[in-house]
Amino acid sequence: MPASNQERDANTHAPALNRREFISTAVTAAAAYGLRTNSRTAEANRLELIGFIKPFQKLPYVQIADIAAEIGWSGIECPVRKGGTIEPAKAQGELPKLVEALKKNGLALTVVASDVEDAKDPLTRTVLRTASELGIRHYRLKHYYYDLNKAIAPQLENFKTKVRELAALNSELKIQGSIQNHSGKNYVGAPVWDIWELVKDQDRNAMAAYFDIGHATLEGGHSWPLHAKLVEPMLSVVSVKDFIWKRVEPKQNDPQRTRAKNDWRSEWCPLGDGMVRPEFFTSLRNSGFNGPISQHFEYDVGTGREMIQAMKKELSVLKQWLSV
């Protein structure tokens, strides 16, 4: 006997959802979407977003802590170096005061920007031991420089010796040093591969790479993904800033006026307004990196409320790029 239309429909189509089933399915789908979105946000939030306080490094400790908390950082990178927030010779007495001021606002002193370059320097052990005893786990070394009148390879071997000796001291004191890449014709770290060469054989808990995407983009142009990937396994801290290229306007009486027409210079600018690409932060998030990300401000951010608003705005851009 031929099947009825109703029977044929039942055999050829999935059963229609009733109202309760439809609502249940919709809620499940929405929850799954929310879970994916929240997962991305959680991934961004697991990263420690801090700020390099150089633009307001000379303020009283309480003010430094208040400003950092208002901006929304979880901690700071502090200059403990000549001309910085704390002079190295005063670190033993002053670092605890700053750490205490930060703690009252729920913040940490996460990274020390130091003058450390040689384990034999009398102040090095004092600064690093004090930092370690206060629970500070990261510091970046003072920059090394090449002498362009000499062969590069032997100089790199000399820097390797210094780094190896510092790594041994770091292991003893239970603190991690890191070498920052920096743009400039004679900076150790400008091409990034030399940081890899200096760090590759060291205990990663003692010596690592401090990767600055702004300097890497300035020096590497389109090759920054190669540089980032090279040092990814040895990353300690990532720093963030942005820049643009500007044509140099020659002066009327400049004897090199013709040549100067083709000259360009880099100029630091707010994050998102320059050459640094959001793709770096997607790659960073996917890499599993879970160290501090330090915001740097090398352009004029003003003072007072103007400065705070500029830094808040950049933090918002950074969070957006990390959670996309």
Euclidean distance between the first and the last CA atom of the chain, given in angstroms as a whole number: 60
Tell me the angle at which helices 304-323 and 279-287 cross, rounded to the nearest 10 degrees: 60
Instruction: Note whether 301 and 308 are within 8 A (CB).
Output: no
Q: Each residue's pLDDT tens digit in the chain (324 positions)?
A: 444 444 444 444 444 444 444 344 444 444 443 444 344 444 445 689 999 999 999 999 999 999 999 999 999 999 999 999 999 999 999 999 999 999 999 999 999 999 999 999 999 999 999 999 999 999 999 999 999 999 999 999 999 999 999 999 999 999 999 999 999 999 999 999 999 999 999 999 999 999 999 999 999 999 999 999 999 999 999 999 999 999 887 766 666 555 556 688 999 999 999 999 999 999 999 998 999 999 999 999 999 999 999 999 999 999 999 995
What is the amino acid identity at position 265? R
At 70, give phi and psi (nearest 5°).
-65, -40
Long-range own/partner contacts, residues 297-306 (CB < 8 A, 24 or more apart): 297/52, 297/54, 297/55, 297/241, 297/268, 298/241, 298/268, 299/267, 299/268, 299/269, 299/270, 301/55, 303/56
pTM: predicted TM-score of the whole model, two decimal places: 0.84
By residue count, the chain amounts to: 324
Residues 6+ apart with CB under 8 A from 283: 225, 228
